[in-house]
Structure 1
Amino acid sequence: MEHITLLIGIVIVTALVFDFTNGFHDTANAMATTISTGALAPRAAVAMSAVLNLLGAFLSIEVAKTISSGIIDEGSGIRPEVIFAGLVGAIIWNLLTWLAGLPSSSSHALMGGLIGATLAAVGTGAVNGDIVVMKVLIPALAAPVVAGLASLCATRLTYRVARNADEERTAKGYRAGQITSAALVSLAHGTNDAQKTMGVITLALVTGGALAPGSDPPVWVIASAGLAIALGTYLGGWRIIRTMGKGITDIQPPQGFAAQTSAAATILASSHIGFSLSTTHVCSGAVMGSGLGRKGGVVRWGTAGRMVVGWALTLPAAGGIAAGAALLAEQGDWGVTTVAVLALALCGAIWVRSRRAPVDHTNVNGDSPATAEPTGVPGPTAEPAAEPAPVSVPAGVVTTAVRAVAPPPPPAGVTVGSAAEEAAASETPHPTGRPASASSLS
């Protein structure tokens, strides 16, 4: 029993670590458009989002029930080490996609990890396939489409209503609306995503015999999950915020307002009926819809395509990592220890790699070229520079043009000052109409 209690404690800590990564991985869902349009400063935006994520965690437990007693059969013989392996798979995939700046789904990473670990350790009978299809796969396909269409219509309506209004005054109003809608998305994110960690911890307590099957999450579970996701949100997933705020489309305040309002309505409705929805899918679809809804707006389909590929890979990739971890963890204490050590080493390597090109609140909108992500354009080695060259001009063009019109350097032994004096003197008009030389003026 002591071994089970220790293992449950490890699972709970790992679940809260996942909840933390979920927070900074999904901060972009609520705040990317608000930050990119300048409606809120980056630090203020993530602070507000963190508080509302914490409050949202207390609003509902329907999604937690879907995770704890819906996808996985509690009575199938699943053990805490299997849940631990599932969480490891979800955490690693979250960090890999964060490093790539890819807005993938933390929710699907968690469910993919749990399903993969359960299939490897127990078998197909322990996974409720019909619930996976009805409450995971179908919402995954429908959510971005529904949110995108709603955002497209809302964007067009917004621009039509304000077509004769003063653009500067309406922009201020829409920025205020963005703050309100971003608050709704943050609240909805806490309501939906924090519950997934509550469900996992509850499932671990049930499998360890600490709770009866079908029990609701205890209050301390709800509070700890809310605090973990709020802390992760406050630290900010700046890489993904940059991709969602600037990489999909160029967002104006009316678009940001329409996209966030549509996303919040979709997420809150799904949470009410217990759909374990991906807030990333919803918010990304809403941003794409806002790009299509504005006349002249452009959606960068290359970035959107990368995101869709990441979405398609999330369930199998997280499941594959978790399956391998489960097979190792099933070997006993040494197996669980090995999984933990390997996971810590890999997470540390990902963090070290991220420090090579850091993205934070100072350059999330691309304002600081010195610390921006590498563009792939070759250039000279990095040295301190007072005024960096414009990014849009290829290296060497400005230098070549200046050399073409600049006078040749002065001869050896002639100072810059004397050369300038000679040039000025040569241009001084002579009384006879001929250029005067320096000697004739002396």
Structure 2
Amino acid sequence: MEIQTMKKLEKEALKKSGPDFTKLGLALFFMIGVLTFSFLSNGGIPNNMFLAIAALIGAYMAMNIGANDVANNVGPAVGSKALTLTTAIIIAAVFEAAGALIAGGEVVNTIKKGIIDISAFGGNSDPFIWAMMAALLAAALWLNFATMVRAPVSTTHSIVGGVMGAGIAAAGFSIVSWSTMAKIASSWVISPVLGGVIAALFLYSIKKSIIFKEDKIKAAKRWVPVFVAIMSWAFITYLTLKGLKKIWPQIVEILNSIPLVSIEMTDKPTFTTALVLGFIISVAVYLIVKARLQMNSTMLENNREAVNSLFTIPLIFAAALLSFAHGANDVANAIGPLAAINDAVLNGGISSEASIPIWVMGVGALGIALGLALYGPKLIKTVGSEITELDQMRAFSVAMAASITVIIASQLGLPVSSTHIAIGGVFGVGFLREWLHITDPRPTIKDDKLTIKDEKKNLNAYNAERLTLENKEHKNQNNYERIVELYKFIEVEEKLIKATKKHIKQTKKVEYVKRDAIKKIITAWVVTVPAAAVLAGLLFFMIKGIMA
């Protein structure tokens, strides 16, 4: 009997672990493939093995970015049921890879955000290569751990911490630009607060202009086109500034070929150009959405669910555009140090900027897509449903915050993290729900207490009458029927009092945002830079010890 039970448990364990082994196998196959390709394609170059190992680590880092960071782009859409998990993964994987390959920079800063002074290496490429390898591996390991515990953290901060820690280990504390680090630390507060406030404001605007109205469909026909147009304006501006820098000259040529259109040729889009381009497209979007609503409004019921459904398609576009912009920008977190190592190995020197070979860009693009597909669902579920309950309107507000906050911050020169903005947006809509509940004009705690007082009077009266009848020596048929009736009344009153007490308790302490999730995520944010830094420093000394 015990042997059969053990066999059943073993079979069940193998069944559950099967998918995990498959995922691990695919991840290892990709990393070994990158290692082999790098080694064979750069054969006869000194330090070729360093470059191959760095490519392996870069692939590992890219997969961790996909597993952790991309959830912020599609998590709200999945949590609101606008997209299924599978569809979201496909859309995000395609647009992340497209953003990295099409619009990823041809040249990246090898030292992310200029946090260390490369002159401290004295032109010696070996310790520089070791430092970049340590930084890349430390950031990847930290992201892997954060994904395991379902904590969405900033991949940018991870690589910043890695570069800082490796730089300190290689050349001392003087190598770090502490003013830059102070700006990055300030983003821990600026990003989530800005994201939360903007998301909450948009959600409140939607509620005030549509949901709180008696005729919701009439209000939706008027205001939904406006909100979707604002989203289009924000996203096109955001995408133009953050995702189209590499291919901007070609876009200008195409636009200038259109009659009556004349745009000044620049290396990258200016804020004014992005704003005007976004406005033109938003006007077209407004007219299209308004026309479609006029045609289909008769099919909509006058309720919240019908209004929610109107934000589904905009949310799908938002997930795709956010993924494209993220792929174009954050691929540098995986391939920046790899490009630096590649440049140092090929040229035997250290450069603050390095051209990115197409194979390096491919490692970043494919790694992000694969990491998302294999390990992204955990964080997508965390962002979409484990912080606060999201519907389409709330998810729409989070997406709006993600684009508008980045635009505002970039123009004001404020350091922000896209991860912190998105999670801050989720917090913002959750806390707004709590605030609206507290200020709800429906029955208050005081009204509930008065209800309990009245029901207790009724209960006491019913009990008194019941006892009188039950103690009566000679009871007739009417007495017995009345006693049964009184028992029913007493049961109803007791249930009503119990329910009202429960409502008072719920009203006193309503938490639409899960506090445990807040504590875990904020702790992970604060710890990210120092944790990656310490890990990178230890890895640098380990690599140096091996090579010495």
Provide TM-score, normalisation by structure 1. Answer: 0.69
Q: How does 1:37-436 map to 2 (within 5 A)?
A: 37-57=80-100, 58-59=102-103, 61=105, 64-65=108-109, 67-68=111-112, 70-77=114-121, 78-134=127-183, 136-163=184-211, 164=213, 165=216, 166=302, 167-208=304-345, 210=347, 213-220=351-358, 221-267=360-406, 277-294=416-433, 295-296=436-437, 298-333=512-547
> Which range moves more in the overlay, 302-311 or 292-301?
292-301
For residue 77 of structure 2, the aligned residue among 34, 37, 43 is 34
Task: Give 1:194 shift.
Answer: 0.9
C-alpha distance in structure 2 between counterparts of 1:108 and 1:102, whole Å? 14
* CA displacement at 1:130 relative to structure 2: 2.6
* Cα pair 2:151 2:379 within 8 Å, conserved: yes
User: Which deviates more from structure 2 when the two are superposed, residues 201-210 or residues 268-277?
Assistant: 268-277
Q: Deviations over 1:179-233 (max 9, x none)?
A: 1222232123213311222321222234435377243432513343222212222
CA shift at 1:274, angstroms? 9.0
Percent sequence identity over matched residues?
Answer: 25
Which ranges of structure 1 fall in alignment gaps of 5 or more residues? Answer: 336-442
The structure whose RCO (Cα within 8 Å, separation 6+) is larger is 2
Contact kept? 1:263, 1:286, Cα under 8 Å: yes
Deviations 1:25-52 (A, max 9, x none): 1232011111112111111101101111
Please give the alpha-carbon distance, in whole angstroms, between the structure 2 residues aligned to 1:225 and 1:312: 26
Deviation at 1:6, TM superposition (A): 1.9
Q: Does 1:10 align with 2:148?
A: no
d(CA) in 1 for partners of 2:412, 2:327: 16
Distance 1:267 1:69 in 2: 16
Structure 1 Cα separation of the partners of residues 172 and 165 of structure 2 = 10
What is the alpha-carbon distance in structure 2 between the residues aligned to residue 238 and residue 128 of structure 1? 37
Aligned-partner SS, 2:545 = coil
Letter in 2 for 1:183: A
Letter of the aligned partner of 2:114 in structure 1? G
- SS in structure 1 of the partner of residue 311 of structure 2: helix
Cα offset, 1:305, TM superposition: 1.6
Alpha-carbon distance in 1 for matches of 2:106, 2:405: 16
Q: For residues 418-437 of structure 1, what are the alpha-carbon distances to aligned partners after superposition, in whole Å with 9 as ceiling and x for unaligned?
A: xxxxxxxxxxxxxxxxxxxx
Given the superposition, is the C-alpha separation of residues 273 and 225 from structure 1 closer, same or farther in structure 2, using an over 3 Å criterion?
Answer: farther
Q: Give the CA deviation at 1:281.
A: 0.9
| Corresponding letter in the other structure for 1:42 | L
Partners of 1:8 and 1:275 in 2: CA distance: 35
Q: Equivalents in 1 of 2:97, 2:128: separation in Å?
A: 29
Asked if the contact 2:154–2:525 (Cα under 8 Å) also holds between the matched residues in 1, the reply is: yes
Q: Which runs of 4+ in 1 moved over 6 A?
A: 271-276
- Give RMSD over aligned pairs: 2.7
AA matched with 1:197: A
Q: Post-superposition shift, 1:234?
A: 2.7
Assess if the C-alpha contact under 8 Å between 1:63 and 1:276 holds in 2.
Answer: no
Quote how far apart the aligned CAs of 1:254 are.
Answer: 0.5
- Choose between structure 1 and 2: higher helix proportion: 2
User: What is the CA distance between 1:284 and its match in structure 2?
Assistant: 0.5
Which moved further from structure 2: 211-220 or 6-15?
Answer: 211-220
CA-CA distance at 1:60 after TM superposition: 5.3
8 A contact 1:188–1:267 mirrored in 2: no
